[in-house]
């Protein structure tokens, strides 16, 4: 065997149940997606205008075993083929997280394989590494989801520095609240994105919070309130609002600030690559304007395909791989951590 390097592949089952998607995936060597089953609960929560945590937990319990089985079947594997099991343990809804954490622990114990605890935000970031082998550290990642808006410098797998974060609403939260006020439904981001394509983004003057000159933090609650006030005033005066124009103006106000600060972050760290992560990374307006601004500055932008931007277990399997090779395993006493921060470990 001398001179022959034996390269073992690592097969991980990953589970994601932090919010309203029940998902399980099988990932080979942190890159190759053998399966990625995503069962969305969106139709169930839609009639309430947002996620109802208790319903989400109960639905995860109903779905989890079937979703895991489907992920293994699609990958043509059994539990015996697994090298480890990875699970999102925070941040997210505590009851929802507990379903995935319990399933992961049970599989780890029954199979005698390592348990890998993954931060949901780290998962979103790692969605970029599933498809792109041209990325080089350091990178700047703009993480924009329903619960987070962070500008993160990434120095290596698992080595993060938060350069800026939202001081109030997350970008996705602002999209969802404005969409609800416009009567568009839930989740609001994709609906505003679609409507904005038909609108004039200069039609309504809306505030953009750039905050202090050096700050890379965000604030979207003022913008959200401005849209709600505008709608209330129009309603009281019986004036018509052009929904597409308002959607386009709102989206532009959000993306202008996101793009401006992301370019500033890149200049501060001195990197040439930007990656996008989280549900709002699916936004066409954001992708286009970041691409345009980055090109002017000779910076590359990349993002996962839409299905990997929103919640999915494949991204969790990718993040878990880099922990697996460092033998960073979690004990069976692992608990759900609803307020877990990026870069923090609680096990």
Nearest approach, Cβ of 240 to Zn ion (angstroms)? 36
If you search the block for the tokens 């700047």, which residue do you land on?
140
- Residue 100 sits in the site that holds ligand KG4 (CB under 6 A): no
- Residue 16 sits in the site that holds Zn ion (CB under 5 A): no
If contact means CB under 5 to 8 A according to the sort of partner, which of Zn ion, ligand KG4, none does residue 176 touch? ligand KG4
Q: Is 119 helix (H, G, I), strand (E, B) or coil?
A: strand
Structural tokens at position 24 = 């399980």
Q: Is 260 helix (H, G, I), strand (E, B) or coil?
A: helix
- Residue 279 sits in the site that holds ligand KG4 (CB under 6 A): yes
CB closer to ligand KG4 out of 11 and 154: 154
Nearest approach, Cβ of 172 to Zn ion (angstroms)? 9
Footprint (CB under 5 A) of Zn ion, residues 120-159: 145
If contact means CB under 5 to 8 A according to the sort of partner, which of ligand KG4, Zn ion, none does residue 187 touch? ligand KG4
Question: What's the count of helices (H) and strands (E) in the chain, helices before strands?
Answer: 11, 10
Q: Which of 89, 115, 311, 337 binds Zn ion (CB under 5 A)?
A: 311
> With contact defined as beta carbons under 8 Å apart, do 29 and 318 qualify?
no
Of 203, 152, 146, 209, nearest to 177 by C-alpha is 146
What's the CA gap between 312 and 127, in Å, rounded? 9
If you search the block for the tokens 């839930």, which residue do you land on?
186
Strands 32-40 and 21-28: antiparallel
Segment interacting with ligand KG4, rule: CB under 6 A, options 68-76, 80-88, 168-176, 330-338: 168-176
Segment interacting with ligand KG4, rule: CB under 6 A, options 23-31, 49-57, 139-147, 226-234: 139-147
If contact means CB under 5 to 8 A according to the sort of partner, which of ligand KG4, Zn ion, none does residue 283 touch? ligand KG4
The torsion angles phi and psi of 32, rounded to 5 degrees, stand at -90, 125
What are the start-end ranges of the E strands in the chain?
A: 11-16, 21-28, 32-40, 84-90, 115-119, 139-144, 149-156, 159-165, 273-277, 300-302
What's the CA gap between 278 and 311, in Å, rounded? 8
Q: Which of 16, 122, 193, 293 binds ligand KG4 (CB under 6 A)?
A: 193
Q: Sketch the per residue contact string, 305 through 324, with ligand KG4: x for CB under 6 A, - otherwise.
A: -----xx-------------
Nearest approach, Cβ of 295 to ligand KG4 (angstroms)? 21
If contact means CB under 5 to 8 A according to the sort of partner, which of ligand KG4, Zn ion, none does residue 280 touch? ligand KG4
DSSP 168: S
Which chain residues interact with ligand KG4 by CB under 6 A? 19, 124, 145-147, 172, 175-176, 187-190, 193, 278-280, 282-283, 310-311
């Amino acid at each position: 065997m001398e001179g022959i390097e034996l390269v073992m592949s690592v097969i991980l089952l990953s589970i994601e149940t932090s919010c309203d998607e029940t998902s399980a995936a099988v990932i080979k060597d942190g890159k190759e997606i053998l399966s990625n089953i995503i069962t969305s609960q969106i139709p169930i929560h839609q009639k309430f205008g947002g996620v109802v945590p208790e319903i989400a937990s109960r639905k995860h319990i109903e779905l989890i075993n079937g979703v895991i089985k489907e992920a293994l079947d699609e990958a043509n594997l059994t539990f015996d083929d697994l090298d480890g099991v990875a699970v999102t343990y925070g941040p997210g809804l505590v009851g929802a997280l507990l379903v995935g954490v319990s399933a992961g622990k049970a599989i780890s114990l029954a199979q005698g394989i390592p348990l890998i605890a993954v931060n949901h935000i780290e998962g979103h970031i790692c969605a970029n590494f599933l498809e792109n082998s041209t990325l080089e550290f350091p990178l700047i990642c703009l993480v924009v989801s329903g619960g987070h808006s962070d500008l993160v410098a990434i120095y290596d797998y698992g080595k993060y520095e938060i350069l800026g974060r939202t001081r109030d609403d997350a970008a996705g939260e602002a999209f969802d609240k404005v969409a609800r006020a416009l009567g568009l439904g839930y989740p609001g981001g994709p609906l505003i994105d679609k409507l904005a394509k038909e609108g004039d983004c200069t039609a309504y003057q809306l505030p953009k919070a750039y905050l202090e000159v050096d700050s890379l933090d965000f604030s979207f609650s003022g913008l959200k309130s401005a849209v709600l006030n505008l709608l209330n005033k129009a309603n009281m005066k019986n004036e018509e609002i052009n929904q597409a124009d308002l959607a386009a103006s709102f989206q532009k106000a959000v993306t202008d600030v996101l793009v401006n600060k992301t370019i500033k972050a890149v200049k501060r760290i001195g990197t040439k690559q930007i990656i996008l992560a989280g549900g709002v990374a699916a936004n066409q307006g954001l992708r286009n304007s970041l691409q345009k601004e980055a090109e002017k500055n000779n910076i590359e932008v990349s993002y996962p395909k839409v299905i990997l931007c929103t919640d999915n277990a494949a991204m969790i399997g990718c993040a878990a791989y880099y922990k697996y090779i460092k033998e960073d395993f979690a004990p069976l006493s692992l608990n759900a951590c609803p307020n877990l921060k990026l870069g923090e470990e609680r096990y």
